[in-house]
Structure 1
């Protein structure tokens, strides 16, 4: 899979695992300098790093899977210390999927960053017995190319180290938001499988156009045990994600003004430093 940017900036197949809260994926339209950059948001992250700080090489040939995972592991310790941000500078970054398991985290992609990765799109995986939560996830402004699924969520990821897990440990998956995205050459738009009796809720998808592959699946949206809404999504989503039409034109993001609160925007700036 190649994910690239023209007006839209790119992202790879992203795996988001349990335990994430208030996390976001951002692709910026303005190219950024490696040593410092600025952006506007509701919250400024206190800790920042570049993927190059962890040995990342954007030459299109070097695998960066270990670098991305090392960055995730290192930045996770700042979840309760003002959060963290990982910057991906211009280049072609080869990587397989990696896990984001920390709270208050932003993945910040330069306009000229191209990520070469797997074909699973944006994935959230969990299972009964894992407990924890995946909530307040925000993903927007990128293009994906050549995907099996654009969106993939599963509550039946059956990997446990042994049979002694607690079947009453039910994970919570809620407030998952995707907007302003384009996908090309996709086999299936979405495979969204919640947990029976404990559905994934608060899913919002807006302003998303998914171009289908020549041999695309006949069923484009496979949805079970989920709840949410969509707006301006092509192809049309499943019945569990009804189109809101003019009632809700886009999903609310943290730096937007929400109906229930006044959000003050901050000018955030970062200088490169090693963690």
Structure 2
């Protein structure tokens, strides 16, 4: 990589000026490094755009990552063609296969340069970085033959759309260590529209692909990308640990089916920060297996922090805990959340037959605007993979804490539905102000089979959640999770690292 590279630093301004673009020719790519400012409008919602200034430096592009790499290559070195029409599946596969030999020698990074790179599914390798240039777009192939089929997940026992198989994700990896998927806000387009149409017409007996999935993996970073129009879920780490997901913009039509944003599933030590999600399903869905297979597999999602999330999802939750939670969900810390035109805040979904538990959940500082529900817990979410589920497998829902919540234009304050003979316990709600919509429901707090307490909450909660006369604060942990202490390094792409 030779010549002069332009690096763009972003500074927020009060208004939304037209984005500025700067470019120079360099030996490797026509480089425009910096911020892609996108104006999204949904009703009256606007997003502030960044103003840029140019700083000239030589030969390097900096980016934050858990690990930096000794070697570097470009997709075009392996026959990649960025015309939006030519399949690059073999180019990606060849590039990653060749770069895997550097796994024990400082690792390698694959640069996706400007262009539209059509591809089917491809697998990652360990000690590896996939870096998308700002003007790079990875386009998911609509040719189903470019999507290998995988066996069902052991903690699920079957798939949502059929009992026997699922499509591999666009970007997939299993048994990986130290993987970074990042960029300067480059785009991955799942081209999901055709998949959604076929699904709605009953054309699948196999689960549609996700955009990114890692299995049985450790030390994973997914950051600074725009992901759009996934065929199904967007980001699905499963049976994995030590995961950082930050700076993602995830966009799908609000009526698109099953387009969850981020689904940590049977994962430990996960940090999700600074993400903006518009979805047809839950913006974040925390999972850990489904009914008896999940109970048997027994791998919980635990030690998870979610902060500075903005969500728009009129028919689903900002954050859902479940409904597949049979391996357990514990120690989830949620803070500084904004939801706009979204069905509910942090929702718990479970049912008889799920088993498992949801406990030690801590939520604070939520700002909600135009919501159907502020608080919603469902004990009768009756989607089961097998009609012969075990009716004695009752979930344990306890230690659920919400505090410092402001909600405007709300239809229902709360619908809290435990299970008869198996109530949800240890619910604490404090310092909550809810402003109702012009046509609110008469019964604002609909509560059954729950136990807990409230403090400084308006409108008046239900009798099952009595208000303390003396103000209290629901707890939020003071200690830090191990994943919070992980510091990202400043890595550089440069000509000296070319393989």
TM-score range (shorter-chain normalised) is 0.5 to 0.7
The CA deviation at 1:122 is 2.2
The higher radius of gyration belongs to 2
The CA deviation at 1:103 is 1.3
Determine if the alignment matches structure 1 residue 205 to structure 2 residue 429: yes
Equivalent residue in structure 1 for 2:227, among 33, 55, 58: 55
Determine if the alignment matches structure 1 residue 105 to structure 2 residue 304: yes
How far apart in 2 are the matches of 1:163 and 1:264?
42
Trace 1:2-81 onto structure 2 (pairs within 5 A): 49=221, 52=224, 55=227, 58=249, 66=259, 68-69=261-262, 72-73=264-265, 76-77=266-267, 79=268
Partner of 1:40: none
Partner of 1:29: none
Partner of 1:268: 485
How far apart in 2 are the matches of 1:264 and 1:195?
33
Determine if the alignment matches structure 1 residue 133 to structure 2 residue 357: yes
Partner of 1:158: 382
How far apart in 2 are the matches of 1:153 and 1:272?
40
Partner of 1:250: 473
The CA deviation at 1:54 is 8.0
The CA deviation at 1:108 is 1.8
Stretches of structure 2 lacking an aligned partner (at least 5 in a row): 1-41, 46-182, 185-217, 229-247, 288-300, 315-342, 491-499
Higher relative contact order (CA 8 A, sep 6+): 1
Trace 1:84-123 onto structure 2 (pairs within 5 A): 84-89=270-275, 92-95=276-279, 96-97=281-282, 98-101=284-287, 102-109=301-308, 114-118=310-314, 119-123=343-347
Mapped contact 1:128–1:156 kept (Cα < 8 A)? yes
Aligned-CA RMSD value: 3.2
How far apart in 1 are the matches of 2:408 and 2:390?
41
The CA deviation at 1:136 is 0.6
- Distance verdict in 2 for CA 1:51–1:188, change over 3 Å: farther
- Distance verdict in 2 for CA 1:86–1:48, change over 3 Å: farther
Partner of 2:461: 237
Partner of 2:370: 146
- Distance verdict in 2 for CA 1:67–1:158, change over 3 Å: closer
Equivalent residue in structure 1 for 2:441, among 212, 217, 226: 217
Instruction: Specify the SS of the correspondent of 1:114.
Output: strand
- Distance verdict in 2 for CA 1:175–1:62, change over 3 Å: same
Mapped contact 2:226–2:249 kept (Cα < 8 A)? no
TM-score (norm 1): 0.67
1:206-262: CA deviation from partner (whole Å, max 9, x where unpaired):
00111100000111000000000000101010010010121x51101111xxxxxxx
1:68-111: CA deviation from partner (whole Å, max 9, x where unpaired):
33x524xx43x1xxx1101225xx531231411221111121xx
**Segments of 4+ in structure 1 off by > 2 A?**
46-69, 263-270
- Distance verdict in 2 for CA 1:87–1:196, change over 3 Å: same
- Distance verdict in 2 for CA 1:240–1:272, change over 3 Å: farther
Mapped contact 1:227–1:240 kept (Cα < 8 A)? yes
Mapped contact 1:230–1:244 kept (Cα < 8 A)? yes
Aligned residue pairs total: 213
1:147-170: CA deviation from partner (whole Å, max 9, x where unpaired):
111111011111112221111101
Instruction: Specify the SS of the correspondent of 1:72.
Output: coil
How far apart in 2 are the matches of 1:227 and 1:48?
38
